[in-house]
Structure 1
Amino acid sequence: MAHLELTYPRPDVAVLTLNRPDKLNALSYELVEDLHTTLAEINANNDCRVVVLTGAGRGFCSGLDLSDPSPERAGQGTEFPRSGMRWQERIAELTARLHRLRQPVIAAVNGVAYGGGMGIALACDIRIAAQSARFCTQFIKLGLGGCDIGVSYTLPRIVGAGPAFDLILTARAVEADEALRLGMVSRVTPDGEVLDTALSIAETLCGYGKFGVESTKQVLWANLEAASLEAALHLENRSQILSSTSGDMRAATEAFHHRRQ
């Protein structure tokens, strides 16, 4: 059975399913490598406009597979601690790869998103949670530092510094309703409906201009680091002018006038 499933319910939407349901989709060496390979494939697919990331079975992702926490293959022939650093960097690189992906990524979180699973969800552009979803940083409970796989960067920017410090230091579990209140997710759905909701959002995004959607994702992430309002405006202005040359604005304007008539 494949550790990762890639399907296209329509040519412009990719559904990426973590597929280790017996392990709550824990991150094994094979799954991490499959994610890197498949995300690179999706990034090169000019027909794909949006990616939906979800988990098979009862969970989104329970984090690192603790039955094999430091696989020998991941060390690439080096000894510890170099081998451990290679594996650590390879997992953490997934969050950067999700950021660099041209397509917006919607996390459809079903069940637990713990440790690395929460880190991957936070790296996505939109997060939708099923009512049974639970989030937990987990790392500090394992005798490690609480900051891993990008959470010290993403979580404070999503929920603010105060709540992020609380969640990372205490590693307490957050239910879906609290995640919504904190802004960790933007919607909560009944169990069994989270994937359909994510696909509906994907369909909406596919109705917008290709360049406009790609540049919007890039500008949003880039301006989280903007040094000033002026710097943010400069990037927005250039993106808008470039978007206006794609032809999508002309088509949208004509469609708007046609509807008015």
Structure 2
Amino acid sequence: MRQQHQLQPFESYLESGLQLHTEEDGAVLWIVFNRPDKMNAVNWKLSTALQSICVAFPVLGFGPGPLWVVVFAGNGRNFSAGLDFTGSDKEVTDVPGPQGLTQATIACVHGPLTGLGLATALSCDVRIASPTFRCSIGANRLGLSGGDIGLSYLLRSLCGSSNANVLMMTHRWMDAGKALRTGLVSEVVEESEAEGEEKGVLREAGRVMARDMLQLTRPGLLYTKQLVLMTESNAILQAAIIAEDAVQMATAGEPEAQAYGAAFRGKITKGRPPPKL
């Protein structure tokens, strides 16, 4: 069983790249990725902070706290581009995120999502996207397996095996339109021409969804979430993550994968975006 603790003051998470605030008299907590200069890529510090926050949620869910709903979002041009390959030498060894939380969870996603950023969004109960949303697998661009951080389970359960296999077995991207058609997201907000305005529309859609969830009684919503967790079989997700870790370790030891990954990392660290595939 995970060790549980209380949340720290919200300001203490700013240095780690997270903005937290509550709405609806504390019933809704917003967790916003705030490393826009790094496309909200997750480094060790952010990962550790997010994990500590999520560990506190079970206490708040059925305890005296008022928290019902958690909304994830991102500042800047996207939600999260996955792992940060620049900066700290410390590796992200644990997968933080909303899976297993007792609260209802919403992800407001925009821009390109890969790897850990995509897994975080797919672990939420509801995903609302902007027209700029698109997603792809990050690990296979590093010469590794396309199944990573639970994506082999999450993608197949959400958008079907064929669509999931295309993402995992190629470098293709899925855009917002196809994500809506396949059920990967539940809603795509209207297009907005003004920069920053689209994100405002997206977050307002997240607020509306959270308010709709608050129309249930608190026990009704939280026990519904318990049923969701049981029927989605969180144990299978955890087993998939363990299997994926083993496969990635084996793949990473292959010379071809090492050379492929080194070339891709070199493009990132030199500040050049990878070629569009």
Tell me the SS of whatever aligns to 1:47.
Answer: coil
Distance 1:118 1:171 in 2: 14
Is the aligned partner of 1:64 residue 2:79? no
Distance 1:72 1:62 in 2: 18
Is the aligned partner of 1:224 residue 2:232? yes
Distance 2:49 2:110 in 1: 21
Distance 2:89 2:118 in 1: 25
| Equivalent of 1:18 in 25, 28, 33 | 33
Is the aligned partner of 1:35 residue 2:50? yes
* One-letter identity of the residue aligned with 2:30: V
Q: Which runs of 5+ in 2 are unaligned?
A: 1-13, 191-197, 235-277
* Higher mean displacement: 214-223 or 59-68: 214-223
Cα RMSD (Å): 1.7
Distance 1:171 1:118 in 2: 14
1:28-75: CA deviation from partner (whole Å, max 9, x where unpaired): 00110110112223433321100110001111000110114xx5444x
Tell me the SS of whatever aligns to 1:54.
Answer: strand
* One-letter identity of the residue aligned with 2:203: L
* One-letter identity of the residue aligned with 1:174: M
Name the CA shift for 1:165/1:111 in 2 (closer, same or farther; >3 Å).
same
Name the CA shift for 1:13/1:225 in 2 (closer, same or farther; >3 Å).
closer
Give the aligned partner of residue 186 of structure 1.
Answer: 186
Q: Which runs of 5+ in 1 are unaligned?
A: 75-86, 227-261
Name the CA shift for 1:7/1:225 in 2 (closer, same or farther; >3 Å).
closer
Q: Confirm or deny: 8 A CA contact 1:139 1:171 kept in the other structure.
A: no
* One-letter identity of the residue aligned with 2:220: G
Distance 2:110 2:23 in 1: 19
Tell me the SS of whatever aligns to 2:172.
Answer: coil
TM-score normalised by the chain length of structure 2: 0.71
Which runs of structure 1 show a deviation greater than 2 angstroms over 4 or more consecutive aligned residues?
Answer: 40-46, 71-74
Is the aligned partner of 1:7 residue 2:21? yes
Name the CA shift for 1:8/1:115 in 2 (closer, same or farther; >3 Å).
same
Give the aligned partner of residue 54 of structure 1.
Answer: 73
Which has a greater percent of helix?
A: 1
1:100-153: CA deviation from partner (whole Å, max 9, x where unpaired): 211011000021211211111111110000111111112101111111111011
TM-score normalised by the chain length of structure 1: 0.75
Distance 1:123 1:114 in 2: 13
1:155-190: CA deviation from partner (whole Å, max 9, x where unpaired): 101011111111111131111111101110000013
Larger Rg over CA atoms:
1
Q: Confirm or deny: 8 A CA contact 2:82 2:113 kept in the other structure.
A: yes
Is the aligned partner of 1:127 residue 2:117? no
